[in-house]
Amino acid sequence: MNAFNSIQSAYASRHMLFKKFFVSALGSSLLSSGIGIFMAYHGFGVGALVFQAMSGTFFNILILNYTIQWRPKLMFSWTRAKGLLNFGWKILCADFIGTVFNELRQIIIGRFYTPADLAFYNRGKHFAQLIAHNVDSTMSAVLFPAMANHSDSPEHIKSMTRRAISTSSYLLYFCMCTLAIIAEPLIKILLTEKWIESVFYLQMICLAHLFGSISITNIQAFKAIGRSDAVLKLEIIKKPVYLILVLAAIPLGVKAIVVTMPIYSVYALFVNMTPNKKILNYSRLEQLRDLAPATLLSIGMAAVVYPFTFLIANPYILLLTQCLTAAVFYVSISHLFKVESFSYCKNLLLNKFKKPNKKS
């Protein structure tokens, strides 16, 4: 069903109509959740989850098509189609390769280890992806159309890429590092002590996701200037190393397989950084400098907050203490050292709240 919505979604993205996405996502989520709860209550079992997902897609299509008045016409241009196909098949191949390899660890764990190992891995992965997936998908949705509007200006693309890397790393590093730190009390409170094995997997996957958004920013920049060939080449270069790491870890146990995730993530980060020097004149050293403030802040925050794990036994008190301490430390140190990304985010919020006052 999503294929029917693809053109409307592309139109909304191209014209930066993200409020339309919000309305359709909120409306479809509320309606499909109601259907899922109703069916579960009346004994449909797991089928309620299936119909919830399907109805969510259906309502999303209806709402988005209602709010976006543009409609495709029965016209065809081979010239335009040829250009789109030339660009699109490389993106399709790169995404397909990425999707297959992203699921490879799960398949291997399910094949070579116990169902309990797979359950612990999936639960840790789920919590980490709640944050990382939403950040990554939001960045992809916003960055590509924004950069595409300036595809003829490499200088402008470089400036936007630098801004995206510094700001996203500042926010994401705080979220993922905090989640890794509070993993133990969080698992105990939400899933009980029997799921404590998930803590290690959650922490490793959080570390792996630290660099994911940076790689996505680089990839979106390449797409925006029409270099889909660079995107595909990067996937072909990265994945043999991915495969070697995972296969080498199989005899060492499931935890070793998960440890390869942050290792590969660092490798992928440097690979994705490399073409920017030639394409945008944005060197790896410049990118590392843009990452440095968030990296140092996160390390300092972890050093201050994590020791509470050994001092407080009550998981509720521990969770609250670590979250509050992490937030206070991150914000106060950012303010003290005048971190540029902090000032940028603060000014955005202040300007957002000032606008209604000016009108009044």
Helix ranges (H only) for 149-253 are 154-181, 183-191, 198-209, 212-224, 228-249
Pick from 180, 197, 189, 169: nearest CA to 305: 180
Q: For residue 142, what pLDDT band results from cuts at 50, 70 and 90?
A: low
Per-residue b or e along 136-165, where b marks 16 or more CB atoms closer than 10 Å to that residue's CB: beebbbebbbbbbeeeeeeeebbebbbebb
Quick one: 144 and 174 in the same domain? Answer: yes
Does 101 reside within a domain? yes
> Do residues 25 and 144 both lie within one domain?
no
pLDDT score at 326: 94
Same domain? 153 vs 113: yes
Domain assignment present for 139: yes
Does the residue 77 lie in any domain?
no
Q: How would residue 360 be classed by pLDDT, with cut points 50, 70 and 90? A: very low
Q: Which residue has the tokens 């790896």?
A: 284
Beta-carbon contacts of 44 under 8 Å, excluding residues fewer than 6 positions away, are: 51
For residue 212, pLDDT beyond 80: no
| Across 247-268, average pLDDT | 92
Output the CA angle 236-209-211, nearest 5 degrees. 65
Question: Once rounded to an integer, what is the mean pLDDT over residues 196-225?
Answer: 84
Q: How far is residue 252's CA from residue 340's CA, in Å, rounded to a whole number?
A: 43
Domain contains 357: no
Q: Note whether 135 and 188 are same-domain residues.
A: yes
Long-range contacts of 156-162 (CB under 8 A, 24+ apart): 157/221, 157/224, 157/225, 157/280, 158/280, 158/281, 158/282, 160/221, 161/217, 161/218, 161/221, 161/276, 161/280, 161/282, 162/282, 162/286, 162/290
On the question of pLDDT at 40 being above 80, the answer is yes
Q: What is the pLDDT of residue 322?
A: 95
CA angle 137, 355, 142 (to 5 degrees): 15
Last-in-domain residue among 72, 97, 123: 72
- pLDDT of the residue at 189: 93
What's the pLDDT band for 188 if we cut at 50, 70, 90? Answer: very high
- From 12, 47, 72, the end of a domain falls on 72
Determine, yes or no, domain membership for 359. no
Q: How confident is the model at residue 148 (pLDDT cuts 50, 70, 90)?
A: low
Q: Are residues 143 and 21 located together in one domain of the fold?
A: no
- Among 91-95, 179-183, 299-303, the minimum mean pLDDT is found in 91-95
The pLDDT tens digits for 86-129 are: 888 988 998 899 888 888 888 999 999 999 999 999 988 888 88
Residue 282 has pLDDT above 90, yes or no: no
- At 277, the pLDDT band (50, 70, 90 cuts) reads confident
What rounded mean pLDDT belongs to the chain? Answer: 85
What is the pLDDT at residue 340? 87
Boundary residue ending a domain (11, 39, 72):
72
- What is the average per-residue pLDDT within 71-88? 83
Instruction: Kindly state whether residues 176 and 273 are assigned to the same domain.
Output: yes
Choose among 210, 217, 60, 206: nearest CA to 141. 217
Per-residue pLDDT at 22: 78
- The answer as to whether 132 is a domain residue is yes
How much is the average pLDDT of 310-325? 93
Average pLDDT over every residue of 288-310: 91
Average of per-residue pLDDT across 4-9: 78
Prediction pTM value: 0.79
Helices (H), the chain: 2-14, 18-41, 47-67, 78-102, 104-112, 115-148, 154-181, 183-191, 198-209, 212-224, 228-249, 254-273, 275-279, 284-305, 315-336, 340-359
Domain hosting 205: range is 87-348
Do residue 131 and residue 26 come from a single domain? no
188 and 247 fall within a common domain: yes
Q: Are residues 65 and 181 in the same domain?
A: no
Instruction: List the one residue out of 172, 163, 107, 166 whose CA is nearest residue 137.
Output: 172
pLDDT digits (tens, 9 = 90+) for 345-358: 888 777 777 755 54
In terms of average pLDDT, the best of 59-63, 83-87, 320-324 is 320-324
| 110 shares a domain with 34 | no
Total domains, the chain: 2
Predicted confidence at residue 151, as pLDDT, reads 63
Percent of the chain with pLDDT over 90: 34
pLDDT reported for residue 144: 63
> Is 355 a domain residue?
no
Tell whether 195 and 260 lie within a shared domain: yes
Q: Is residue 42 part of a domain?
A: yes
> How confident is the model over 241-255, as a mean pLDDT?
92
**Domain identity same for 183 and 41:** no
